[in-house]
Amino acid sequence: MSNAADSKSKLDNLELPWVEKYRPKKLDDIVGNEDIVERLKVIAATGNMPHMIISGLSGIGKTTSVHCLAHELLFDNNNSNLTLEQKKKLYSEAVLELNASDDRGIDVVRNQIKNFAQKRVQLPRGRHKIIILDEADSMTSGAQQALRRTMEIYSDTTRFAFACNQSNKIIEPLQSRCAILKFNKLTDEQVLKRLLEIVKLEGNIDYTNDGLEALIFTADGDMRQAINNLQSTVAGFRLVNGDNVFKIVDSPHPLIITKIILSDSLDEALDQLKKLWNDGYSPTDIITTFFRVVKNLNQLKEPTRLEMMKFIGFTHLRILEGVTTYLQLAGLVCNLHKLK
């Protein structure tokens, strides 16, 4: 019976998405934002967690950091001898995670959150129950207002952690009750380091340098996106190279965009753009790739790059407003060619 359970556990582990399989379990494992991680380590050491708002872009470790902090607060040296099942049970009783983009109404605050805050749980001395509200900037204003009183009444036993993309969408009364931590976008070096660690741990991945560069380019600082793209490319092609990565993410190849920008002939540049259009790439994907390529295009002087980015920005705005025609992109290419 035990062998069957072990085999099932191993099989489940194999079937996990890599973002879950390699999700950090301790604060020491978190990539990037070293200053904030050090502050979280101090909180873990003292055991007195304040209410927190953690803001930043998607996929840079906001929610994971809170989970790592919760683990270190709940499982200190005094109760490190607990079995795995006991730890899971204690964690499920002491930590409530809600995705506020789904559960964002006032009823959630009145029912789920309030009931959890009232619940009695046996915790290590000086520790608190933790409520993690992911995508908290999606909560309605009424729900946020209802949280004010709950936070005050149950602050002796329960602490709140709000993870959001934009902290200014959290109402002022909640901001004033919380410590605000701003996570920065991960650097290319940090993403590369983690990808290489995963490649080494998996052990049987064939990759090229341009494949890793493509993963970093398409992720744009989003670690979750980078790991998902790596796993998808391995599953689809086995070999992680530039062409395969861009096929998986279905994004225009930056070399083609570079060729369009640097082409001496406007007709040739428009022919390349027409090919991208006929291949079915969306205007949003094309314009986003234009921006990322121009931003790092060292063949052009900085004033020229800045002017190009201004034109790309205006075109992106028109596309988001619904003007998604080929003519819009062709006009952009003409303007970029004229600038160059």
3-state secondary structure (DSSP) of residue 240? strand
Position of tokens 């819009």? 328
Q: Which CATH number fits domain 254-339: 3.40.50.300, 3.40.50.720, 1.20.272.10, 3.90.1520.10?
A: 1.20.272.10
CATH number, domain 2-182: 3.40.50.300
Query: What percent of the chain shows pLDDT beyond 90?
Result: 35
Give domain limits for the chain: 2-182, 188-249, 254-339
pLDDT at 120 over 90: no
**Per-residue pLDDT, 10:** 41
Please check whether residue 228 is in contact with residue 17, taking contact to mean a CB–CB distance below 8 angstroms: yes
47-58 tens-digit pLDDT: 888 999 999 888
What is the SS3 assignment for 257-303? HHHHHHCCCHHHHHHHHHHHHHCCCCHHHHHHHHHHHHHCCCCCCHH
Please check whether residue 71 is in contact with residue 197, taking contact to mean a CB–CB distance below 8 angstroms: no
Please check whether residue 156 is in contact with residue 126, taking contact to mean a CB–CB distance below 8 angstroms: no
132-164 tens-digit pLDDT: 988 888 888 888 888 888 888 888 888 999 998
The encoded tokens of residue 310 equal 């201004």
Q: Is the pTM of this model over 0.95?
A: no
**Per-residue pLDDT, 104:** 63
**Per-residue pLDDT, 79:** 59
What's the pLDDT band for 312 if we cut at 50, 70, 90?
very high
**Per-residue pLDDT, 311:** 93
pLDDT at 308 over 80: yes
Topology of the domain covering 188-249: Helicase, Ruva Protein; domain 3 (1.10.8)
160-195 tens-digit pLDDT: 999 988 888 888 988 888 889 999 989 989 999 999
Query: What percent of the chain shows pLDDT beyond 70?
Result: 91
Position of tokens 């290590």? 124
Domain 2-182 and domain 254-339 have a common topology: no
pLDDT at 327 over 70: yes
CA distances 64 to 59, 181, 258, Å, are 9, 14, 36
Containing 87, the helix (H) or strand (E) segment is: helix 84-94
